[in-house]
Amino acid sequence: MRALAAVVLLPALAHGAGNGAAPNLMSVAGAGPAFALTFDAHAEAQGAAEMLALLRQRRLHVTIFFTGRFAERFPAIVAAASRDGHEIGNHTYSHPHLTTWATNSRHDTAGGVSRESLQLELRRTAEAIAAACGRPPAPLWRAPYGEHNGTIRGWAAELGYLHVDWTRADGDALDALDWVERPGQRAYMNAEAMARRLLAFERKTGVPLGGSIVLMHLGSPRPDQPLLEALPIVLDETDRRGLRVVPVGELLARGRSQPISAPMPASAPPP
């Protein structure tokens, strides 16, 4: 598969893995009009089958980060995603908080998080994904809640994993915010507002959508499932702009021989 082109890049990333040198992929320069849609799948499968059907209808391939617990609870969803040709990434087994962001707004490594515990999370997830779909995940991972630092990324890089973030700029981010569940919560949006916000990112920040990485979620507790309505709006407009959706691995293959590395500041906003 073309998405596995990311494997070629990983040996170089392992150097300095234990000293915080592992990169954080937020975008890829030189990828032309291609951009990546990425989906995190943690606990909820509601709407997941419908989203896979939408992607199938649009003939799109994306990157989906599954937790090990999701793969064990909903193996049919993982198998369907694999059959459809989507790139499967690792989202840890239990979706733990890896940094102290929730308590002090810093990305210091959380107590109880160690090389051994993180690598066990990644290994257990790889096993669960392989059991569900017959093949291990691509060498790509995403930290739960967007909580990571150089040391944590380095521990994952020792297993060959590249950390995939999403594109951020000027206090904004290509985050669909579909995870915000309740009306009245800050950043709660309907489908049209979600789509409008993502499509305005380039104009607002000056950062091109080409080479970017967008965060969405596969499965949601929201009864209205706004992403199923918002995504077609986004796709119709990006098609009009001449942009093309590809998995992260293909985005890397289209871009420079090394991913664009941007260190995550200690006070970076959570997803």
Indicate the domain borders of the chain.
2-254
Which pLDDT belongs to residue 270? 45
Per cent of the chain over pLDDT 70 is: 86
What percentage of residues in the chain have a pLDDT greater than 90? 78
Model pLDDT for residues 122-154, shown as the tens digit of each residue: 999 999 999 999 999 999 999 999 999 999 999
Q: CA 100 → CA 1, 91, 265, distances in Å? A: 37, 18, 13
Question: What average pLDDT does the segment 219-239 reach?
Answer: 94
> Helices marked H in the chain — which ranges?
6-13, 48-57, 68-73, 75-83, 101-104, 115-133, 150-157, 191-199, 201-205, 227-240, 248-254
pLDDT at 267: 41
What fold characterizes domain 2-254? TIM Barrel (3.20.20)
Give 192-206 pLDDT, tens digit per residue. Answer: 999 999 999 999 999
Cα–Cα distance, 13 to 33 (Å, whole number): 25
Residue 15 pLDDT greater than 90, yes or no: no
Helix axes 115-133, 150-157, angle to 10 degrees: 50
Q: pLDDT tens digits, residue range 28-79? A: 999 999 999 999 999 899 999 999 999 999 999 999 999 999 999 999 999 9
Query: Given this model, what pLDDT does residue 182 score?
Result: 79
Which pLDDT does position 3 carry in this prediction? 32
pTM of the model: 0.89
- Looking at residue 209, its pLDDT comes to 97
Task: Decide if pLDDT at 111 tops 60.
Answer: yes
